[in-house]
Structure 1
């Protein structure tokens, strides 16, 4: 695991720790079932759904409270997102310097207290205002709850983000009122790091990465954790992503979750989902009595399938890791995997957005959409900041999120992704029925009689004719531009390269509907478009788009369209190109001496907005 020195500890890198330390075999997966998959959003005591909102959650990783509130009002609510997962709000350690950089992101996963008075993301007043604003827009707040542990031994000479003094195993003021504390006897019983990940007792009683492991079997500890969580619930927080759940014994977790209040406004118990990397020692299903579980088997399988363009067999979804649809929270990447196991992330461009769109179209699980900042290859780098602020003990204070800048990636705002949230909400409760395949990289399916979706994980457009249960009519494409016509139980359309087509009841075209998804007759002048290519180069190399048309150099690298980059955006290269649906092209690295290194693999075909070197 790539972490800072043990003295300061990358306490949040639970995924990295789990994946590298687990030596037991993973839970075996069932073969795909050919029967249709039910698509009912789970509603239970452990997973209540907000009235009038969908089940799609976006993880606004490290966004400050004011920015989350603004996003709820301006984008999330209007686009049908049902929830937003926010970073831990409790007082955290302050790490001015680590091997990975100043004020790393993982410092926020080492609690000093349960006070939410001040973190680098804002104050308690700003947090409460965020909760209210999001609720007013139909969006639940999901808090990333760190309840397994407190801090490691590092940085004890500095107060926490709210100014609280502390030492490892000694946390004198848990709520800022002087009424509750933790001392040495509230931890253990191991007081040493986990070494044998095949020993369940050691995994749950010893210290994860040297972090002070709370004795959650203690009535006193449980009372403080419940007080913290219920304080958030009473404020209007609608749910929790529980960090490092597998390190809390099941009976302790059950006692804590069973003590939570009902959520005012939304009603019912909080929606809880647990971070668990299932294995033979502690399976995912150990925690399903207490909420949903993050399905890392799904994440790995879907991300790798889309990365490899092998997606046709995904429509009949197996119970990944033994989790049913109602038990699973699913995702393509999260803040850990994009740093330590990046099978598919935003740097992969259209293919990544296509995988996210598929996740939203498929009925399996409750989806969480990632929204990142650019950490520029530095795994520990904290979020964009305004630097230190006089009188604020939190260190570097997080900057407002600006999706128009290169610092905040904002994957959730991609047209392909945000449009599929509306599709998901429209088809909720319907079954999936496959309608078409074309090789291993193209697939289409119905969702009942209210939705049709097609996915094309190739560099060539797909001329598709398929049967559908959608009523006749003209429909907008929820996953991008254009649309399609349904007539006589058939849909005929062109699915763009590295793109999707998604039609749903309620998404019928208005007067300016283009319809048909027709890219135009080959040979007609095309519209210039901006392309972003993720390419790592050697000093002196440029990236050119070279292809079959004169505009792309007629396969001469020197005459292709040169893309641009700079120190802030590298390895992303951007430029304006002109191509038709049948234009063949490739990326080429052109050296200062005129040398050309051609992208491997087949020629790409047709327009694309975001691509990665060598990936069709």
Structure 2
């Protein structure tokens, strides 16, 4: 018994350590695997350590959302590329010191009710395709026997749409539906066959070199299902984090009923939606930057080693129900400075191909100059302690030990912030250069004034 407890302790410590070490993630949303491969060197030069790519399995249709409707785990074959493309991408990223993270969808399969009435996946049409092009599909098989269906009707919950999104049982046992008579996405059970096939898929991706898994729609899976699939063997050496959308932290129904149990019953990371809610409050009209001083102390941010931090995720601009959470463009830049400047969490940068039709707002965001400067600051101060020096309704100024100072001013007038450099341990006779504007502060006395321009952020890094 002592040996087993020790093994569990070591496993949990290893998992927590891996999440702590994980660094900035580029969410290459809906990028072709070949595109990621071609940009591997650029990605590492920009300072990224991980790339999260869109779901890799059999799926059809050109729309981005089609990637979230799996037809078959056993082959990678979709408009973003096939198994060979996926392997080449992993190799190119690895050669440049960057890990590949895979987005996985285990809650449901594709909604194909308009094409057929059965729940056989991938179904007779695709099985026939496999048979007619056997050489091609055998060469890109990830695991399993392509002559048989992967799932049948017995592997799904009974049909029925979620009606109450605060009801845990409904959310985790019924279907995500689109309304107007849509029968929804067939919802998988956690029977032994489903679990074994999902495990086989994860093991195959790990064998290819995948180092992390984003669990899509984790809110809609039972904790039993998640823990059955993610065994200690599968989690070993990987960074696992779930997407559980919540509109707040402790005390909010989404957090208390879904995110808190997930954190309590798994050792996985998660998107820090509580922190995102605090960020939106801070930047809202009449909000105060004091919301960002220590949100974790009040249950309004996840523990540092488990948090995936962000200013936007793909669901926010791409789904009508979440678009009200899009920050003002300037506020989003300031929020990014906070996310990259603070101690704790793994920052995620969402970069698309304008799938949301927002005038290319997030297109090529990954290489925008301000993001590049923020990553530089983040990488240089990784693991260094954080202390908030001063704040009010308009601004927050904090430091990362003696190495860096971050100032964010959301208001329309500039701010002078005086800092006692002796108390706050900033080095004298050293330059602190802003990674965003190239402004230089020469600290040479006990009291130093940091000026924060209106609607701007500064991330001064010691030279």
Larger Rg: 1
Is the aligned partner of 1:323 residue 2:278?
no
- In the alignment, the residues of structure 2 paired with residue 407 and residue 349 of structure 1 have an alpha-carbon distance, to the nearest angstrom, of 8
Q: Which residue of 1 aligns with 2:333?
A: 353
Secondary structure of the residue aligned to 1:342 is: helix
What is the TM-score when the length of structure 2 is the normalising length? Answer: 0.80
Pairs within 5 Å for 1:181-192: 181-188=150-157, 190-192=158-160
Q: Which residue of 2 aligns with 1:291?
A: 268
CA offsets 1:16-52 (integer angstroms, 9 cap, x no match)? xxxxxxxxxxxxxxxxxxxxxxxxxxx944355399x
- In the alignment, the residues of structure 1 paired with residue 269 and residue 449 of structure 2 have an alpha-carbon distance, to the nearest angstrom, of 39
Q: Which residue of 2 aligns with 1:371?
A: 351
User: CA 1:223–1:58 in structure 2 vs 1: closer, same or farther (change >3 Å)?
Assistant: same
Q: CA deviation at 1:80?
A: 2.3
Is the aligned partner of 1:105 residue 2:64?
yes
Count matched residues: 412
For structure 2, the residue ranges without an aligned partner over 5 or more in a row are 1-11, 117-121, 132-140, 178-183, 247-253
Q: CA deviation at 1:116?
A: 4.2
Q: CA deviation at 1:287?
A: 1.9
Q: CA deviation at 1:489?
A: 4.5
- In the alignment, the residues of structure 2 paired with residue 459 and residue 406 of structure 1 have an alpha-carbon distance, to the nearest angstrom, of 26
Q: CA deviation at 1:297?
A: 2.3
User: CA 1:48–1:225 in structure 2 vs 1: closer, same or farther (change >3 Å)?
Assistant: farther
Q: Which residue of 1 aligns with 2:436?
A: 479
User: CA 1:322–1:81 in structure 2 vs 1: closer, same or farther (change >3 Å)?
Assistant: closer
User: CA 1:126–1:203 in structure 2 vs 1: closer, same or farther (change >3 Å)?
Assistant: same
CA offsets 1:326-371 (integer angstroms, 9 cap, x no match)? 232221111111233335647x333211111111111242221221
Contact persistence 2:199–2:229 (CA under 8 A)? yes
Secondary structure of the residue aligned to 1:46 is: helix
User: CA 1:45–1:251 in structure 2 vs 1: closer, same or farther (change >3 Å)?
Assistant: farther
**Greater percentage in helix:** 2
User: CA 1:50–1:445 in structure 2 vs 1: closer, same or farther (change >3 Å)?
Assistant: closer
Q: Which residue of 1 aligns with 2:169?
A: 201
User: CA 1:248–1:408 in structure 2 vs 1: closer, same or farther (change >3 Å)?
Assistant: closer
Q: CA deviation at 1:428?
A: 2.2
Q: Which residue of 2 aligns with 1:243?
A: 216
Equivalent of residue 185 in structure 2, options 192, 211, 225: 211
Contact persistence 1:50–1:138 (CA under 8 A)? no
Contact persistence 2:74–2:146 (CA under 8 A)? no
For structure 1, the residue ranges without an aligned partner over 5 or more in a row are 1-42, 95-102, 158-162, 263-267, 379-404, 509-616
Secondary structure of the residue aligned to 2:39 is: helix
Contact persistence 2:289–2:396 (CA under 8 A)? yes
User: CA 1:353–1:201 in structure 2 vs 1: closer, same or farther (change >3 Å)?
Assistant: same
Q: CA deviation at 1:155?
A: 5.2
Contact persistence 1:242–1:272 (CA under 8 A)? yes
Q: CA deviation at 1:153?
A: 3.0
Q: CA deviation at 1:230?
A: 1.2
CA offsets 1:76-129 (integer angstroms, 9 cap, x no match)? 3123222121111111132xxxxxxxx432111110101443211122211111
Q: CA deviation at 1:491?
A: 4.1
User: CA 1:496–1:199 in structure 2 vs 1: closer, same or farther (change >3 Å)?
Assistant: closer
Equivalent of residue 106 in structure 2, options 141, 147, 168: 147
User: CA 1:61–1:465 in structure 2 vs 1: closer, same or farther (change >3 Å)?
Assistant: same
Pairs within 5 Å for 1:413-428: 413-428=367-382
Is the aligned partner of 1:430 residue 2:367?
no
Structure 1 stretches (4+) deviating beyond 4 angstroms? Answer: 163-167, 171-176, 319-322, 343-346, 405-408
User: CA 1:500–1:261 in structure 2 vs 1: closer, same or farther (change >3 Å)?
Assistant: same
